């Protein structure tokens, strides 16, 4: 067996003298390492299999950390990590104390910019290029962005500013037709719309021959994948060259030697350039090629066939998709909107049943929010499903466009709370804080799947303004869902039991923790009130105040940061009611929470029944 090349790479310098055969062997070793290690840890397999040759070429031609790379979203940065001295740690990816699943500035000097949200690479890289010019340096700056990132407003805004900002700048448009799910509105689709333009129609029939002439016979082998790219060659000025960015490509993103030659040439250009490459998400692993959506990011799987462990319980996302689809059967005004996440939000269930009432706007959360507002003004009932961490991007629209106009838009925030292995860029720990002070907004969180459906039904019927619901990643309690949902009273909590010593208020998925604390306190002989608040806003001040004033201590539980969170809302309410009682809170600290398994992180940060007991009991003596 020949000696491994990957195991000897301590820095990018190690690969610069490699022959073309060495580079081909290295690519094979990287793919093997990714497939075998991620089978144990989970992770973003498909995106990284698609950028192996690209990353090898980049590190062969450029010199990090002097030269700067930014990756959009950076979930395809595993290969970069492996070529910058972290190959022997790839088995720790996304594990507590291990490598982060995204680029992280504190992890390596080669990680120039950390990001977990799309649309950041071009703007941040342009800032680096401007800084280089101001300092009089001569290093290169390369932004690697997938075609889906070009649906982001921030990317388009950056494109508009490149030519006036710098003359030495490289963008790599990595076109694989996928972000997480099949791209919608991405740049390849944008160019596809050019077929209807009169300037294009006269040369449509000769496009394939033209591509072959420019790129050679190899391009025709990719014909089914570069149909849109042929149009890019014919009409590049439509988007790029009229913006002052010289366009090159498309070229095969898996031809390492061609990529190296192209980058060597682009290094000499004293003008902003964009290189369009065609790549294949999941290349080298058939299960990932067959199901690119699934293998964008997943948990552990079997290497042999890519099979993953199937849960017997539905996820909250699946409950959401099924419930919304059922509601739509009897409500023709109900619409569903997502921002490039039909699979993650499970709106693909709705899409299959009602394709004309389903809208995927691409990675464009701000547009999605405004789009929903427009629909609401015309009497429709739009449900906007966006992860809690990504809803932050639409914050201005929530205040200025939805709430200010009292539009009945329904905000469905998936992955609220800790998102575990994905880390701080993906934890949904801030949405209570950024929503609860918005006037006239209704915000709720269910304790289980059945109550979740009740809340979705209540949102559907609520017409007085914006309503929002937060719900966690993964499965729920497994409770049976009623055949007919219940219409909940807005702002009314569920009082489970009344007591005289302690008031426990467990929000959403942390209600189970409050129940366990109740049992532990009762075993010690204390009388306990237990409340499922249901509504974050409007808070059921009457019920909570009536119970709190007869207790010695109140304890809240929430899967959110404590600053400006649900517990803070309870403290404010009790203060306003002139009720003096000690309030303890269980929730996340005022810091960015690292990545790792949820049980590990909860224990590390004191999110436990025992910690609650430690806080409560001293006040009862």
- pLDDT tens per residue, range 536-569: 999 999 999 999 999 999 999 999 999 999 999 9
Asked whether residue 236 carries a pLDDT value surpassing 60, the answer given is no
Given the residues 23, 281, 473, 537, the one annotated as active site: 281
250 located within any domain: yes
Position 596 scores a pLDDT of 93
Given the residues 112, 365, 449, 558, the one annotated as active site: 365
* Active-site residue flag, 281: yes
| 193 and 321 inside one domain | no
Q: Write the pLDDT tens digit of every residue in 564-601.
A: 999 999 999 999 999 999 999 999 999 999 999 999 99
Q: Rounded distance, CA 146 to CA 124, Å?
A: 15
Report, as an integer, the average pLDDT of 419-440: 95
Position 376 scores a pLDDT of 98
| CATH value at residue 544 | 3.40.50.920
| 400 and 451 inside one domain | yes
480 located within any domain: no
Given the residues 357, 393, 415, 534, the one annotated as active site: 393
Q: Rounded distance, CA 360 to CA 184, Å?
A: 7
| 64 and 166 inside one domain | yes
* Active-site residue flag, 393: yes
Residue at a domain's end among 470, 505, 537? 470
Position 292 scores a pLDDT of 83
| 102 and 219 inside one domain | yes
Residue spans of beta strands (DSSP E) within 190-289 = 246-252, 272-278
Q: Write the pLDDT tens digit of every residue in 457-466.
A: 999 999 999 9
454 located within any domain: yes
> Computed over its alpha carbons, how large is the radius of gyration of the chain?
26
615 located within any domain: yes
Range of the domain at 322: 316-470
DSSP string covering 154-209: HHHHHHHHHHHH-S-EEEEEEE-SBSSSB-SS-HHHHHHGGGGSHHHHTTGGGHHH
Report, as an integer, the average pLDDT of 206-215: 45
| 17 and 165 inside one domain | yes
Report, as an integer, the average pLDDT of 233-238: 52
| 107 and 234 inside one domain | yes
Q: Write the pLDDT tens digit of every residue in 245-268.
A: 998 888 899 999 999 999 999 999
134-172 burial by CB neighbour count: b if 16+ within 10 A, else e? eeeeebbbbbbbbbbbbbbebbbebbeebbeebebbbbb
Residue at a domain's end among 296, 330, 356? 296
464 located within any domain: yes
Position 216 scores a pLDDT of 52
561 located within any domain: yes
Q: Rounded distance, CA 219 to CA 85, Å?
A: 34
| 449 and 501 inside one domain | no
70 located within any domain: yes
| 447 and 531 inside one domain | no
484 located within any domain: no
Q: Write the pLDDT tens digit of every residue in 147-162.
A: 778 888 899 899 999 9
Position 55 scores a pLDDT of 97
Name the one residue in this structure whose structure tokens are 């009932």: 381
> Strand, coil or helix: what is 502?
strand
Position 224 scores a pLDDT of 44
Q: Rounded distance, CA 619 to CA 254, Å?
A: 65
Q: Write the pLDDT tens digit of every residue in 266-283.
A: 999 999 999 989 898 889
Percent of the chain with pLDDT over 90: 76
The torsion angles phi and psi of 15, rounded to 5 degrees, stand at: -100, -5
| CATH value at residue 462 | 3.40.50.970
| 446 and 336 inside one domain | yes
Average pLDDT of the chain to the nearest whole number:
89
The answer to whether the CB of 368 falls within 8 A of the CB of 337 is yes
The pair of structure tokens assigned to 93 is: 């990816």
Domain count across the chain = 3
| 419 and 528 inside one domain | no
The answer to whether the CB of 402 falls within 8 A of the CB of 409 is yes
Q: Rounded distance, CA 602 to CA 418, Å?
A: 9
Residue at a domain's end among 296, 326, 346? 296
| 335 and 386 inside one domain | yes
Asked whether residue 183 carries a pLDDT value surpassing 50, the answer given is no
- CB count, 10 Å around CB of 536? 26
| 457 and 530 inside one domain | no
């Amino acid at each position: 067996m020949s000696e491994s090349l990957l195991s000897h790479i301590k820095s990018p310098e190690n690969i610069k003298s490699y022959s073309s055969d060495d580079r081909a062997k290295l690519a094979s070793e990287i793919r093997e390492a990714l497939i075998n290690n991620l089978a144990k840890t989970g992770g973003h397999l498909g995106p990284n299999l698609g950028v192996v040759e690209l990353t090898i070429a980049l590190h062969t031609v450029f010199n990090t950390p002097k030269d700067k790379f930014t990756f959009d979203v950076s979930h395809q940065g595993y290969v970069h990590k492996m070529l910058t001295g972290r190959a022997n740690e790839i088995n720790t990816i996304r594990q507590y104390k291990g490598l982060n699943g995204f680029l992280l500035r504190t992890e390596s000097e080669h990680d120039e910019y950390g990001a977990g949200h799309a649309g950041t690479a071009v703007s941040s890289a342009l800032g680096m290029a401007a800084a280089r010019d101001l300092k009089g340096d001569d290093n290169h700056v390369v932004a690697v962005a997938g075609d889906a990132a070009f649906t982001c407003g921030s990317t388009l805004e950056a494109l508009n500013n490149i030519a006036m900002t710098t003359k030495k700048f490289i963008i790599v448009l990595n076109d694989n037709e996928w972000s997480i799910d099949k791209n919608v509105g991405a740049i390849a689709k944008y160019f596809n719309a050019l077929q209807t333009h009169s300037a294009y129609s006269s040369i449509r029939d000769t496009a394939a021959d033209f591509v072959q002439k420019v790129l050679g016979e190899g391009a025709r082998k990719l014909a089914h994948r570069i149909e849109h790219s042929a149009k890019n060659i014919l009409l590049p000025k439509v988007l790029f060259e009229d913006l002052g960015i010289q366009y090159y490509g498309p070229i095969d993103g898996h031809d390492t030697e061609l990529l190296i030659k192209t980058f060597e040439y682009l290094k000499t250009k004293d003008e902003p350039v964009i290189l369009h490459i065609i790549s294949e998400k999941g290349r080298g692993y058939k299960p990932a090629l067959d199901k690119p959506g699934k293998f964008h990011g997943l948990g552990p799987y079997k290497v042999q066939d890519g099979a993953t462990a199937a849960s017997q319980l539905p996820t909250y996302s699946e409950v959401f998709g099924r419930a919304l689809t059922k509601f739509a059967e009897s409500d023709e005004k109900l619409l569903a909107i997502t921002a490039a996440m039909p699979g993650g939000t499970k709106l693909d269930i709705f899409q299959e049943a009602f394709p004309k009432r389903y809208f995927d706007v691409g990675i464009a959360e701000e547009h999605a929010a405004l789009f929903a507002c427009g629909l609401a003004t015309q009497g429709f009932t739009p449900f906007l499903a966006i992860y809690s961490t990504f809803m932050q991007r639409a914050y201005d629209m929530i205040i200025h466009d939805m709430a200010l106009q009292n539009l009945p838009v329904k905000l469905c925030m998936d992955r609220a709370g800790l998102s575990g292995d994905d880390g701080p860029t993906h934890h949904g720990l801030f949405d209570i804080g950024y929503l609860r002070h918005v006037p006239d907004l209704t915000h709720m969180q269910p304790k289980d799947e059945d109550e979740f459906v009740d809340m979705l039904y209540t949102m559907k019927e609520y017409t007085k303004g914006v309503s929002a619901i937060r719900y966690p990643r993964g499965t729920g309690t497994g409770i049976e869902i009623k055949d007919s949902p219940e219409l909940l009273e807005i702002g009314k909590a569920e009082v489970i039991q009344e007591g005289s010593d302690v008031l426990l208020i467990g929000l959403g998925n942390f209600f189970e923790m409050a129940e366990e604390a109740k049992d532990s306190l009762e075993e010690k002989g204390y009388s306990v009130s237990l409340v499922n608040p249901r509504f974050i806003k409007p808070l059921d001040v009457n019920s909570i105040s009536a119970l709190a004033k007869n207790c010695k201590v109140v304890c809240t539980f929430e899967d959110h940061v404590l600053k400006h969170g649900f517990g803070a809302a309870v403290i404010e309410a009790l203060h306003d009611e002139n009720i003096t009682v000690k309030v303890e809170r269980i929730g996340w600290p005022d810091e960015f929470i690292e990545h790792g398994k949820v049980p590990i992180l909860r224990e590390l940060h004191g999110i436990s029944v025992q910690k609650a007991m430690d806080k409560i009991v001293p006040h009862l003596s």
